[in-house]
Amino acid sequence: MLIEFRLPQFGMGMSDGTITKWFKAEGDLLVEGETLLEIEAAKTTVEVPAPVGGRLKQIVVAADMNVPVQTVIALIEGEGAANSDATPLAEEADVPTPAAEVAEAAKPKATPLARRAAEANGVDLDSVQGSGPGGRIRRDDVHAASDTCQAPDGGKRVSVQVEPRARRAARELGIDLDRVTGSGPNGRIVEADVRSWKLAPTAAPSTIPTPSPVAAGATFKEVPHSKMRQIIAQRLTESKQTVPHFYLTAHCEIDALLAARARINAAFPDEKVSVNDFVIKAVASALMKVPDANVTWTDAAMQRHSVADIAMAVATEGGLITPIVRGAEGKTLRTIAAEAKDLAGRARNGGLSPREYKGGSASVSNLGMFGVEEFSAIINPPHSCIFAVGAGLEKPVVRDGALAVATVMTVTLAVDHRAVDGAVAALLLSRFKSFIEEPLSLLA
Amino acid sequence: MYRRMRRIRTFEDRAEEVHRNGEIPGTCHTSQGQEGEIVGACMALRLDDYMVGNHRSHGHPIGKGAKLDGLMAELLARKTGVCSGKGGSMHLADFSVGSLGETSIVGSGIPVAAGAALGAKMQGLDRVSLCFFGDGASNEGTFHEGINMAANWKLPVIFLCENNGYAVSTPIGTTAAVENIADRAAGYGIPGVVVDGQDVLAVYEVVSEAVHRARAGEGPTLVEAKTYRYLDHAANMGRDLGYRTDDEVAQWRATRDPIALFDKRITTDMGIKEADLREIDDEVLKEVDAALDFARSSPFPDAEEAFSDVYGDRLAAVA
Amino acid sequence: MASKTFLEAIRDAQYEEMARDPAVFVMGEDVESNMFGTFSGLMEEFGPDRGRNTPIAEAGMTGVAIGAAMVGMRPIVDYTMAPFLYPAFDQIISMAAKTRYLYGGQSGVPVVLRSNMIYGNGNSAQHSDRPYSMFMNMPGLNIIVPSSAYEMKGLLKTAIRNNDPVLSFEDVALWSSKSEIPEEEYLIPFGVADIKREGEDVTIFAIGAMVNLALAAAEELAKEGVSCEVVDPRTVAPLDRAAILKSARKTGRFVAVDCSFEACSAASEVCALVAEQAFWDLRGPVKRVTTMNTHIPFSPPMEKQLYPSVEKVIDAVRYTLA
């Protein structure tokens, strides 16, 4: 009988995979359990065995193609009963054909608990040795299979191995192992992978289907997307599409701030404070003053934060990342300056731990150093606010009815209007401007 | 002699009390009733002669003249005990009076005592070695091997069997095919002597004879002292194992008590005054009380002490 | 320098120590007839008092040695074969190992208990034992397992001078092996391992005669570009834990070769040590190469397969690399 062989899911995070190699050709005989193809998914390369014995009738998805999990990738003319791997999410076991009853090795059944455990852990039931009567697969067998590096049939990995040295290196350097591709046997992450990752965070190759080859003489080159680029694209699109952005602009006179900064830096020449550090502190202080703006929208409820964790946008080689200065409302300018410097440095080296860039109350994006006067930023979920800060430029201003010159920094606040109403946003911006224009108020 | 016997009796009575009220951890094997054979044998030895004992170990060092303070402190698990709190009741060993240890694996001391005699002989010292072991131990393989080797090499050792009739709860008659343990001596080609353990002077004479033989290079002797222990195998065992009757115990206490017998003997036949003996009794009581006070006021060992004295010169060996 | 065999090294060590210290003497079964050549010339030189035949009474002779040791002598007891230690087990454990401790340091037991390990020779279950691992479990004992004539002499001399009980396990497979022995006196301290070969990729810990297997395996593997470090503990009690861990941390891979039976072997102990304390430096699993857990049969086709071999060591190394 013809069996649809679907791309299995390895690991809960896997949503798609790229077939890197077919080990058999159409028409080849298959032995159940022998390696049929190799796939590459987010973190690892996995060898996939044939789910049944029989003949490989048709390869539906060719090598180098990336398809979602559960896509039919091949058709197999099976000898025995239909197996659970062909449709791992199926609840019912297929009724075995009469031929199956005399098949060389009728597929052992799996208990419902085992099936659920296999699904939850991304374990291929085919690779599991059943310890129940008649080889029946029990839940414990599934758990054992998902923990072991080597399946009883000796070849398939279902979880990523990390050698202890590599784990330690990852801990030391604050590298998320989820981001590292393993070069060791069977996709194992070895120490070298971790240590070299920090130098080239965009090392992971593309898994998006490559379009047709570029014609000779073309005026463009195709660069496959890095994982980071894909994530940025996905998140910001999601933000723009789902969050109702509402914008307010303020022009802040920063002469007093610049003077204060000069004096502080003279007093602490080794711990220089930048304008952006003032901005971070001002944002944090403003949020504490306007708690209605220090919130995160969820479908179920509004999360009201009691601290102000301020994310700062940092441009790295690979793209944008936003490390967080936690509890900025309670930190001195110098502390903020030191942390910001450290975080930015490590962000560029790829040495941030997830804790350091996930979460937060609001973001600050500062393009002042590029001379940009004014701009609007895109909110980073789960924040409700983002402050887009421009350069401080000398401008004519009106004071007491007369023209004067002041250094003006334009700040555009974008808020999530589901969470933060216009009036609240206005109040927030107003408070922010007060803190910026009277920097001593940041001390009080 | 009287003083030493009295010391053992008082010490043991006190130890049993103190064990009962929980101040002595573990087990406590007392030797009330055996004072005669212990003291009679010990006093036939010089201070520099060697002695190896067994788990019923309080009496032997006392018999050989050890001070009570260190012994009592050891029982109470103090740092100031003779074994620094490492050994306890079954291993009350005082090397300063010639003891080479009181070892609690039954029969294990027999070849060791022979070995000490060998060591003395090889070094040209005219010391002898005496091993105390029980009727039960005489059935162990080490009894056979140790005595055989001592006999072969004519070692200056006295094997003294403290036959109190029972091995824990098993009467010796049911486990030994001979009437007297001393009868086995013939099997090794050495003399075997039976003596009344409750008659301290008789024991003294017999052991002195054996010591003399040994020192003269004539080899080992097996001495069997018929004796009796009043209390259970181990103090406060709780259950009555039912292997002997209360009458039997009472009978021995009433008619065969070694201290009472000696008391009568020396006051009647040797003109010692009753009053003097009573004075000794008082002094001994004070001595034991003082030892108990000393023990109670001594500190316990620090936990780190558990790791000392496993090896003698570990550092030197590694260096 | 002179080239000497393992047995000659034993004989020389005993001779030199007996000459140095009148308290040293030898006792055991058939000592006087010098069955293995380890007593050549001793009786002539030192007299019959210092080289004594004992009856076949292992417990008795051990106890006698212990007693003599406690009063100032330094006996060397020769049991001939290692399984003959078993009848003396209680004396070794209850008296030799524990005496110093039990009596609060009032005395020590400076005895040396020597026996040989012969296996792979059709001597069947009772005569093919390799029991040093059993004794490792008891505090108070020192255990030497020399891997060459050079080690044998240096360790035995240290053993005789040591003030605590020492068990010496002498692998018969090494008896005729030779080393260059210096003219000058030398002692090998206990608890100091020796790196027999330096390497980068995998640590092979090997005991006694297994050291040669490890070195042969290392040679083979070098051809494949695998660099092995061979660590010889020389004494399994005390064990040079620091050296073992240092090597394991350096290479990240650990194989332990031990001719004991697998269960609770010395190999198990060091693997546990490495897994506990060097885990984060590891690059792969630890692996033991030991004698398989069954009694030693008489017939060669059954017996030969059971012991460690160069092939098994190579396989084990590959296992840690996989």
Same domain, A182 and A277: no
Same domain, A413 and A293: yes
Q: Which of C52, C98, C127, C249 is catalytic?
A: C127
Task: Read off the CATH number of the domain in which A410 is found.
Answer: 3.30.559.10
Same domain, A177 and A130: no
**Measured between alpha carbons, how far is A437 from A424 in angstroms, rounded to an integer?**
20
**Measured between alpha carbons, how far is B115 from C52 in angstroms, rounded to an integer?**
13
Within a domain: residue A273?
A: yes
Contacts of C280 in chain A (CB under 8 A): 164-165, 167-168
Contacts of A335 (CB under 8 A, 6+ apart): none
Number of domains making up chain A: 3
Contacts of B82 in chain C (CB under 8 A): 103-104, 106
pLDDT tens digit string along C111-125? 999 999 999 999 999
Task: Provide the domain limits for residue A257.
Answer: 229-442
Within a domain: residue A206?
A: no
Check CB contact of B33 with chain C, cutoff 8 Å. no
Within a domain: residue A208?
A: no
A→C contacts (Cβ < 8 Å), by residue, are 163-165, 167-168, 185, 190-191
Between B239 and A75, the more confident residue is: A75
Is the Cβ pair B119, C67 closer than 8 Å? yes
Task: Give the mean pLDDT of B159-169.
Answer: 94
Q: Chains touching chain A at 3 or more Cβ pairs under 8 angstroms?
A: C
Check CB contact of C138 with chain B, cutoff 8 Å. no
pLDDT for B295 beyond 70:
yes
Is the Cβ pair A165, C283 closer than 8 Å? yes
> Are A79 and A53 a contacting pair, CB within 8 Å?
yes
Catalytic site includes residue C127: yes
Task: Read off the CATH number of the domain in which A176 is found.
Answer: 4.10.320.10
Q: How far is CA C307 from the centre of its chain?
A: 17
Task: Read off the CATH number of the domain in which A44 is found.
Answer: 2.40.50.100
Is the Cβ pair A164, C322 closer than 8 Å? no
Is the Cβ pair A185, C322 closer than 8 Å? yes
Q: Chains touching chain B at 3 or more Cβ pairs under 8 angstroms?
A: C
Within a domain: residue A51?
A: yes
Mean of pLDDT over chain B = 93
Q: What is the DSSP letter of C174?
A: G
Q: Which of these ranges, A180-184, B257-261, C55-59, has the smallest mean pLDDT?
A: A180-184
User: From the candidates C103, C142, C187, C194, which should be mutated to test the interface with B, based on the most B CB atoms within 10 A?
Assistant: C103
Same domain, A286 and A428: yes
The shortest C-alpha distance from A30 to chain C (Å) reads 27
Same domain, A306 and A235: yes
Same domain, A37 and A108: yes
Task: Give the mean pLDDT of B123-149.
Answer: 96
Write down the pLDDT at residue A104.
Answer: 41
Write down the pLDDT at residue A98.
Answer: 43
Write down the pLDDT at residue A198.
Answer: 57
| Fold adopted by C194-321 | Rossmann fold (3.40.50)
Single out the residue in A112, A147, A182 at which a domain terminates.
Answer: A147
> Are C69 and C161 a contacting pair, CB within 8 Å?
no
CATH 3.40.50.920 in chain C: give the residue spans: 194-321
Is the Cβ pair A163, C282 closer than 8 Å? yes
Check CB contact of C101 with chain A, cutoff 8 Å. no
Write down the pLDDT at residue A148.
Answer: 45
In terms of CA atoms, which chain B residue is nearest residue C70? Answer: B116
CATH 3.40.50.970 in chain C: give the residue spans: 2-181
Within a domain: residue A266?
A: yes
Same domain, A175 and A283: no
Architecture of domain C2-181 in CATH?
3-Layer(aba) Sandwich (3.40)
Task: Give the mean pLDDT of B291-306.
Answer: 94
Within a domain: residue A214?
A: no
Q: Which of these ranges, A107-116, A265-274, B23-32, C76-85, has the smallest mean pLDDT?
A: A107-116
> Are A36 and A56 a contacting pair, CB within 8 Å?
yes
Check CB contact of C25 with chain B, cutoff 8 Å. yes
Contacts of A167 in chain C (CB under 8 A): 280
**List of chain A residues with pLDDT < 70:** 10-13, 42-44, 79-108, 120-122, 143-158, 198-216
In terms of CA atoms, which chain C residue is nearest residue B142? Answer: C60
Within a domain: residue A382?
A: yes
> What letter represents residue A44's amino acid?
T
User: From the candidates B142, B143, B154, B315, which should be mutated to test the interface with C, based on the most C CB atoms within 10 A?
Assistant: B142
Domains and CATH numbers, chain B: 2-298 (3.40.50.970)
Within a domain: residue A67?
A: yes
Same domain, A44 and A105: yes
Single out the residue in A80, A113, A147 at which a domain terminates.
Answer: A147
The shortest C-alpha distance from B193 to chain C (Å) reads 23
Same domain, A410 and A304: yes
In terms of CA atoms, which chain A residue is nearest residue C250? Answer: A165
Task: Give the mean pLDDT of B304-314.
Answer: 86
3-state helix, strand, coil in chain C (%, to 5): 45, 20, 35
Q: Reduced to 3 states, what is the DSSP secondary structure of residue B88?
A: coil
